[in-house]
Amino acid sequence: MKAIIKLLLPVFMFFLPFSTYAQSPFDQFDFLIGSWQGVEKGMAGDGIGFRTYQYELNKNFIFEKNMSTFPITDKKPRGEVHRDFGVISYNKNDSSIVFRQFHVEGFANIYKLDKNASGENKFVFVTREIENNPGNWAARLIVDKVSDTEFRETFEIAMDGKNFSHFLKNHWKKE
């Protein structure tokens, strides 16, 4: 019996790592997958938004698509429709979560998840680059998970690259 165990033990040891569950870097974002409707408050006024998140390309990426509408104002007699889409990815080179967000205005925000500022239900993304940046701007996106069907989102801008100020606050509920 001992001889059989000695013979089979290396085989079990070889296959053990393959049988354990490999956690995905996106597990913390699973709650986002689906369709959302939101109420938005910010510089453009009070608006509503519609957003979807879905896994793509063999679950290596999360795609985000957003459309927000804001009412007519004196400065914007037609109101405002904002559209953007984004891609959340995992960078194995430095074990980081990256969020690339492309806006109808031509900006492309490239965020990196700030692990130190984030927690189990709070995700803080800070831009490492803004393409077509009008200056030395930086942006911060904070997602506060309330539940699997609700989250709050705060978008902040630092026009000087350092001092962030509130730009938009959203409250999203899963449809």
Q: What is the pLDDT of residue 49?
A: 97
Please report whether residue 16 resides in a domain: no
Write the CATH number for 92: 2.40.128.20
pLDDT in tens, 40-97: 999 888 999 999 999 999 999 999 999 999 999 888 899 999 999 999 999 999 999 9
Q: Is residue 56 part of a domain?
A: yes
Total structural domains within the chain: 1
Mean pLDDT for the chain? 90
User: Do 125 and 111 contact (CB within 8 A), yes or no?
Assistant: yes
Kindly state the DSSP code that residue 55 receives in the 8-state scheme: E
Residue 59 domain-assigned (yes or no): yes
Is residue 5 included in any domain, yes or no?
A: no
Q: Which domain holds residue 151?
A: 25-174
Residue 3 lies in a domain: no
Pairing of strands 34-42, 165-174: antiparallel
Report if residue 168 sits inside a domain: yes
Q: Indicate the pTM of the whole model.
A: 0.85
